[in-house]
Structure 1
Amino acid sequence: MTQAKSKRWSQRVTETSDALDLEPGVFTLRDPRAIARSLKRSAERSERRKSDPFRSAMSMLTFYINRAGRNLPADQRRRLEAAKQELRKLFDRAPAKR
């Protein structure tokens, strides 16, 4: 029981934490801009988020990418990484300096 329960912790976090209420299938959309717009809408509408809409949306996107790990196909990873850039544009945020 513990083994099966621990395998689904990320689903439990997504459903029960102060995370965003996402539109169904948002991470499977083909257009990075559509993904970013959906995340922005969800972040701005959410009553459950604790931080500002940009941080909440970016955190959810990063959480999804990290949890998918190696199982995420390269083309989908590129789309999701491009969605990060689109999200920055939609919220008028400069890219992070490295």
Structure 2
Amino acid sequence: MAKSRKWSQGVTGHSDALDLEEGVFSGKDPDAIAESLRKSAEASDRKKGSPYQSAMSMLTFYINRAGKDLDPKQKKVLEDAKDSLRRAFGRD
């Protein structure tokens, strides 16, 4: 694999903790994003923390790394996905 210009792209694409569904962060439905992250986190045996911690960390990492380049509408979807993820894990 050629070295990625942006290391964060490599992390989200080839995480050592989670096998992410392709395009998960580009979805438009916060509930679907949260569900995909939940499934990935619960299926992984490589994570260091709880499934909730792993899923929320990956989502937060993506939002923070995308930074100013993230479309404001997509950022809102991803922020809403945090709330959906909390609900999915019973952490309202």
Equivalent-residue separation in structure 2 for 1:6 and 1:27 (angstroms): 18
Q: Which of residues 28, 33, 36 in structure 2 aligns to 1:35?
A: 33
Structure 1 residues 6 and 26, CA gap change in structure 2 (3 angstroms):
closer
Q: What SS does the corresponding residue of 2:28 show, helix, strand or coil?
A: coil
Query: TM-score under structure 2 normalisation?
Result: 0.88
Give the aligned length. Answer: 89
What fraction of aligned residue pairs are identical, expressed as a percent? Answer: 61
How far apart are residue 12 of structure 1 and its match? 3.5
Query: TM-score under structure 1 normalisation?
Result: 0.83
Between 1 and 2, higher relative CO (CA 8 Å, sep ≥ 6) is seen in 2
Report if aligned partners of 1:19, 1:60 keep a CA contact under 8 Å in 2.
Answer: no
One-letter code of the match for 2:61? F
How far apart are residue 60 of structure 1 and its match? 0.2
One-letter code of the match for 1:52? S
Q: Which has the larger radius of gyration?
A: 1
1:1-98 to 2 correspondence within 5 Å?
7-14=5-12, 15=14, 18-94=16-92
How far apart are residue 9 of structure 1 and its match? 1.9
Report if aligned partners of 1:40, 1:57 keep a CA contact under 8 Å in 2.
Answer: yes
Structure 2 stretches lacking a partner, 5+ long: none
Structure 1 stretches lacking a partner, 5+ long: none
Runs of 4+ in 1 over 4 A off after TM superposition: none
